[in-house]
Structure 1
Amino acid sequence: MNTYESFVHIRRDLHKIPEIGYQEFKTQTYLLNYIHSLPSDRLEVEKWRTGIFVKVKGTHPTKIIGYRADIDGLPISEETTLSFQSMHDGYMHACGHDFHMSIALGILTTIVNDPIKEDVLFMFQPAEEGPGGAEQMIQTETFQKWKPDYIIGLHIAPEYPVGTIATKEGLLFANTSELFIDLVGKGGHAAFPHNTNDMVVAACSLVSQLQSIVSRNVNPLDSAVITIGKITGGTVQNIIAERARLEGTIRTLSVESMKKVKQRIEALVEGVSIGYACQTKINYGSMYHQVNNHGEMTREFMNFVEEQTDVNLIECSEAMTGEDFGYMIKDIPGFMFWLGVDSEFGLHHAKLSPNEDAIGVAIELISQYMRWKSE
């Protein structure tokens, strides 16, 4: 039997019960049931909302190593042919958080059964996909009481083969912000447009203007993305729309660019308000801080992987992906890396199907690293 087969089964169990942010009740119960099945003499467990803190006492601790796994799913209807498909209609673990949880439980089990010198704090964090749980979780009394000296996290990467990880010093993931813009004008009969203020026309004009921000207001040597992924407006074909709503995302590689992009969005929205005689409202929703890997610690980890493991290391480029793990390493040294899972379909896709062999790779790698870090 594969040493890590039980954690593959755990992944499949978790895959069946995806839940969105702060609604991970079944997920929390499943995780707690497993954690409470482990020897408890060196474990301290505390719940926070739908998340969990688990502290494992080391043999001669001088530091606390932090490890974070996110636990929420996405509002996506699964289209895989897996025998363990989601049982929750309209929801799926389409970002690999089922992998993240099973890997964390595998590392936890390894550390409990074969103690290391240092204490280890496992954080099962809710709401990574939204509205964002990391920033709130690190503000809790429990986190401050068990505050790690450094923190580790991983994210599955469909584009890399199993047995490969990818990371880099410095910026790994972008600053991200949701974007919601509401426009309210004056509706009316389609035959009398001169008596109305058409918000479909206003919304279309605004979308075109927003696309000019990156090309004309962001330094070409920097990077930014503004994507409008959803537009709603109107009721039927012969009524001029009184309301319209744009929903999108902003991504930048620097905090300064994020500020500038938002200033330009606000200026353009104000212009639409005047030009189309309508009321406007902007909501930035969830905002995630960039994942900026700690240089020295990341290089140390990369050297460890190259010199003491069979895992293939790739020094990758930064990505426009968002991850609220950035809040956890904003003031505490730490790093995140991509874990190769070799899937034809990418993150947030209804057919994402990662290779489960990667679970054992990650459990073994991180367990070995924590032990090495404790020596």
Structure 2
Amino acid sequence: MATNGKGSIIISESIEQEMLDIRRHLHQYPELSHEEYETTAYIRERLEEAGIRISVQFPLETGIIAEVGGLQGGPVIALRADIDALPILEETGLPFSSRISGKMHACGHDFHTAAILGAALLLKEKEHELPGTVRIVFQPAEEKAAGAGKVLQSGALDGVRAIYGMHNKPDLPVGTIGIRSGPLMAAADGFLVEFEGVGSHAAVPEASIDPIVAAAHLVTALQSIVSRNVSPLDSAVISVTRLNSGTAWNVIPDTAVLDGTVRSFDELVRARVTERLSEVVNGIAAAYGTKAVVRWIQGPPPVNNDAELAEAARRTAERLGISVVTPKPSLAGEDFAFYQKHIPGFFAFMGTGGSKEWHHPAFDVDERALPISASFFAGLAIAELERFVAEP
């Protein structure tokens, strides 16, 4: 790994080609959360070929932890990539489209893995000069918000000073990086509400306790939580995404079930919305004579970037000639947030261009962003190790 006169890292053609090969291979063979066995084996093979040591003391059923550096002792930092795919039928028409029907890297985790593996290859070239250890986390099950917890349980972040990660961003052009301190991505919680009433013939509604009426009122009433219980200076979203009830046009059913999601950037807002949603459900159930049960599916907390790490990332990007923008926060969730509850963390948006958003069947990334991303994270890792050595 070398630098030109402007401080940009020059990546060899062989490493650029390897990142392309890795990304395209992973794209052809996507695996869902908790099923990433072949993906893990493939990453292991590429690490072993490069002579990068694998940390067997942090076992994971899927996913893998590797290390570069540490030959001189020093601090430990971590880089993280997620490796799982989605249950989506691909419609990109790419020559390296998914060969597994109904499964697709529609969120760009193949890009993340290839770029961070590329950063590991660049760091390996400088291993004898590194004043500490860079732990590379290839994390499973991000889409289920479960993989970060498994990494934490393994002990892989014990003693780590800070962790750094990214997500591709289709609405940012290649050559751009989104850096923001504070909230970047939202807490993402799910809810399920079941109303229990009394069924009847549709022509005799007075003999029923209609759960559909209660559910319909709930859909409307939930919107008042954000407009009247959350400050206009804060942000939250409540979306009902499914409502199921009944089996026939002339029968009032016994039950109605709806579910949806709550997104927020602040833990106090998150707690307030959760509390109010349960209160509104119970109030509507009482008003219409039904019984109601609320079940919560707790997702990741907000991604909340450490201000000092964000400033360090900005310095690295500017030194490498990468255009820095302040991105709008995203209401999507990301389980990188669990790491930030444990140690300081920074999460970037890497510009990858593209006309389709995450989780779309025609989603793709501009592969020209691979060397930019790899050089950024390699450069950031070196700079942060040097900073932690100088400021213990």
* 1:273–1:280 Cα contact (<8 Å) kept: yes
* 2:85–2:107 Cα contact (<8 Å) kept: yes
SS at match of 2:217: helix
Q: How many Å separate the matches in 1 of 2:366 and 2:138?
A: 22
Q: How many Å separate the matches in 1 of 2:30 and 2:145?
A: 16
C-alpha spacing 1:18/1:236, structure 2 compared with 1 (3 Å): farther
Cα shift at 1:131: 4.0
How is 1:199-218 mapped onto 2 (pairs within 5 angstroms)?
A: 199-218=211-230
Please, which of 19, 22, 28 is the counterpart of residue 7 of structure 1? 19
C-alpha spacing 1:209/1:106, structure 2 compared with 1 (3 Å): same
Once superposed, which parts of structure 1, at least 4 consecutive aligned residues long, lie more than 6 Å away?
none
How is 1:1-375 mapped onto 2 (pairs within 5 angstroms)?
A: 1=13, 3-39=15-51, 42-45=53-56, 46-115=58-127, 116-144=130-158, 147-306=159-318, 308-375=319-386
RMSD: 1.9
Q: How many Å separate the matches in 1 of 2:284 and 2:373?
A: 50
Cα shift at 1:290: 1.3
- Give 2:340's aligned amino acid: I
- Give 1:301's aligned amino acid: A
Render the CA deviation track for 1:241-277: whole Å, top value 9, x for unaligned.
3232222111112111111101110011112222333
Cα shift at 1:142: 4.0
* 1:20–1:72 Cα contact (<8 Å) kept: yes
Cα shift at 1:196: 2.5
SS at match of 1:36: helix
Cα shift at 1:282: 1.8
C-alpha spacing 1:23/1:277, structure 2 compared with 1 (3 Å): farther
* 1:176–1:322 Cα contact (<8 Å) kept: yes
* 2:316–2:379 Cα contact (<8 Å) kept: no
Where structure 2 has 5 or more consecutive residues not aligned to the other structure, the ranges are: 1-12, 387-392
Cα shift at 1:228: 1.3
Q: How many Å separate the matches in 1 of 2:237 and 2:145?
A: 20
Render the CA deviation track for 1:273-313: whole Å, top value 9, x for unaligned.
2233333222221321111111112112202211x112111
SS at match of 1:134: helix
Task: Between 328-337 and 180-189, report the one with greater CA deviation.
Answer: 180-189
SS at match of 1:191: coil
Q: How many Å separate the matches in 2 of 1:237 and 1:26?
A: 48
Cα shift at 1:23: 2.2
Q: How many Å separate the matches in 2 of 1:4 and 1:183?
A: 56
- Give 1:160's aligned amino acid: L
C-alpha spacing 1:218/1:86, structure 2 compared with 1 (3 Å): same
Q: How many Å separate the matches in 1 of 2:329 and 2:20?
A: 30
**Structure 2 length normalisation: TM-score?**
0.89
Q: How many Å separate the matches in 1 of 2:364 and 2:14?
A: 20
Where structure 1 has 5 or more consecutive residues not aligned to the other structure, the ranges are: none
Q: How many Å separate the matches in 1 of 2:309 and 2:234?
A: 26
* 1:167–1:316 Cα contact (<8 Å) kept: yes
C-alpha spacing 1:200/1:85, structure 2 compared with 1 (3 Å): farther
**Structure 1 length normalisation: TM-score?**
0.92
Cα shift at 1:3: 4.0
Task: Between 25-34 and 207-216, report the one with greater CA deviation.
Answer: 25-34
Identity of aligned residues (%): 35
- Give 1:320's aligned amino acid: L
Cα shift at 1:322: 1.4
SS at match of 1:4: helix
Q: How many Å separate the matches in 1 of 2:248 and 2:21?
A: 49
Q: How many Å separate the matches in 2 of 1:203 and 1:83?
A: 46
Query: Size of the alignment, in residue pairs?
Result: 371
* 1:43–1:56 Cα contact (<8 Å) kept: no
* 2:55–2:66 Cα contact (<8 Å) kept: yes
SS at match of 1:82: coil
